[in-house]
Copies of this chain bind each other. A is one copy, B any other.
């Protein structure tokens, strides 16, 4: 991982930065270099591997910083101990640093220029034969085995690097926000169940039997309460809980960086977050992010990239070709509200089939395609586009040998299907590889309201306290209320939403319009939000904030393949802790104390 070098520099990987004697250890192993030759050092760690040659053991010693070779010849007092060593034994080694000869030197690891000649090897602990190798060789067991023996899995370099990156990012965020006067406040973990939103995890109460706490889905209400309380600037690394069915990038509990600020406008929140992210990427990864971040409206993101979280490391924009087909013979396109086209490389039939599958999974009826030939277009829907070939080339810039892909239908499903195909194309051809390592942007001007296409019912897009754009307030209650733009924003990194937030409503009149638009009577609003409405009427300042999906951010910063790789002890995708074996049955007496009993559905 590219992060390591910098982590080491900031962390405690040199003898000089520590105030601790750390037992007898004098160095982390990765600190040693040829210039230490002749020095006596004491190291401690795990036996990564032992190579046994006639009259010689090469013990590879590992600590969290890396590895170093301990060379033990037959006349060495530690020779017999070395003979007992096996993988994952814990040892303390005292010895002299010796520069290796030309022939023995290696660049395979940072300490490859030296070796340790021990005067003593203390065996601190033995180890059972590990369930799998953690010595740097490729991992050859499934994820379930890794999770069951997570304490072994975490010994691997990649896992250690991720956890240290995560820790460094937390520390830099804390440092920055503390310096900017943000107050870190811990909000309740045992709170009230709300019928809105995702499914709650429930905790039966012993002192109030028959009643339940809920674990927080987010600190949303509490952070707004802190602004009402005049804290002015708040942040927290908040554990949040949603009892949803799990996907590859979901966990039953997750961490968000939660922030809220008072007396701010949208630009203030965005600028603060940009400065924070620039600081973090610079300090931890030595990566410079742009200033300012690009902003793209929801409408443009959807129109050009078919996604409200577009991956902008590569272009392959969607072209709008609706007009070219209107009134034409090709009914499927002529009658569609929207026809979108996207240029792709020369695709095989198998690849096109695969992409069509993606389009259909994302709501399209099919995926139109043609190939540009020297003569015009051929294959797929070639005969239907012959009449508009020049215009199509003009609109899309498609070149000879390239494939052009189409989606058609209502605007939203049409753009979303082709947007999903765009991402699949990225994965198929590694299109993002030539782009920047990180592309970060804001998506803004989300709609305030969302309408159910079937029932026509209006609901909120973010949450009912999101402030509308001031210019659009007059549209509430009119047929055009779907056009109201919210003062909401998402932070998008490499095609993933890594944050989202909004300016909140502080004006009771605007709040009343908003409740009206989504069909809440005053009584219904009170029923749902209870005490929070009282709080809002007790002197609420203008305020707004954001929450970052912290696990996902770390996944992207570290290049990990899924969210479980950046969590020390994750659940698997059935919500199980395979190591500690949770959840588990409990005694009925324990349940009786908290006033519940098990009820299983009839077989």
Interface residues of A (CB under 8 A from B): 10-13, 17-23, 25, 44-46, 62-64, 88-90, 92, 124-128, 130, 149-155, 160, 163-164, 166-168, 170-171, 174-175, 178-193, 195, 199-215, 221-222, 225-226, 228-233, 237, 239, 241, 243, 245, 252-253, 255, 261, 263-265, 268, 271-272, 275, 506-508, 530-531, 534-535, 537-542, 567-569, 571, 574-577, 579-587, 590-601
Contact = CB atoms under 8 A, between A and B. Distances in A.
Nearest to A152: B538
A185 B163 contact: yes
B582 A192 contact: yes
A205 B202 CA distance: 9
A17 B231 contact: no
B192 A241 contact: no
A213 B583 contact: yes
Contact of A204 (B44, B193, B596): B596
Contact of A538 (B13, B19, B45, B130): B130
Contact of A23 (B184, B215, B268): B268
A27 to B, nearest CB: 12
A193 to B, nearest CB: 5
A356 to B, nearest CB: 33
A213 B204 CA distance: 12
A597 B592 CA distance: 11
Contacts of A597: 596-597, 599
B210 A600 contact: yes
Contact of A174 (B170, B190, B221): B170
Given A46-B230, A63-B230, A538-B130, A583 B170 contact: no
Nearest to A269: B20
Nearest to A255: B186
A591 B255 CA distance: 26
Contacts of A229: 150-155
Contacts of A190: 201, 241, 252-253, 571, 577, 582-583
Contact of A263 (B22, B184, B576): B22
Contacts of A127: 537-539
A393 B531 CA distance: 64
Given A88-B538, A538-B128, A568-B226, A264 B23 contact: yes
A98 to B, nearest CB: 23
Given A150-B225, A188-B577, A208-B575, 13 more contacts: A20-B268, A22-B268, A44-B263, A46-B539, A92-B263, A127-B537, A188-B571, A190-B241, A191-B582, A195-B587, A202-B204, A212-B583, A531-B579
A84 to B, nearest CB: 14
A41 to B, nearest CB: 14
Contacts of A230: 45-46, 62-64, 154-155, 160
A209 B22 CA distance: 47
Contacts of A44: 263, 541
A423 B222 CA distance: 38
A584 B204 CA distance: 9
Contacts of A124: 506, 541-542
A506 B541 CA distance: 55
Nearest to A550: B186
A136 to B, nearest CB: 13
A167 B154 contact: no
A202 B590 contact: yes
A264 B542 contact: no
Contacts of A174: 170-171, 174-175
Nearest to A23: B263
A125 B90 contact: no
B20 A271 contact: yes
Contact of A575 (B125, B207, B222): B207
Given A154-B229, A210-B600, A199 B595 contact: no
A541 B210 contact: no
Contacts of A221: 580
Contacts of A199: 206, 590, 593
Given A186-B568, A539-B90, A11 B181 contact: yes
Contact of A21 (B181, B268, B508, B593): B268
Contacts of A579: 531
B192 A164 contact: no
Nearest to A213: B583
5 contacts: A190-B582, A192-B577, A210-B600, A243-B594, A531-B579
A586 B212 contact: yes
A514 B15 CA distance: 36
A219 to B, nearest CB: 10
A207 B166 CA distance: 29
Contacts of A225: 150-151, 569
List the 6 closest pairs (A to B, CB-CB), nearest first.
Answer: A12-B181, A127-B539, A154-B229, A171-B178, A211-B583, A192-B582
Given A151-B228, A163-B231, A90 B541 contact: yes
Given A171-B184, A187-B569, A208 B576 contact: yes
B600 A599 contact: no
B209 A600 contact: yes
Find the residue from A149, A201, A268 having the highest chain B CB count within 10 A.
A201
Contacts of A151: 225-226, 228-229, 535, 538
A411 B268 CA distance: 65
Nearest to A230: B155
A264 B183 CA distance: 34
Contacts of A89: 539
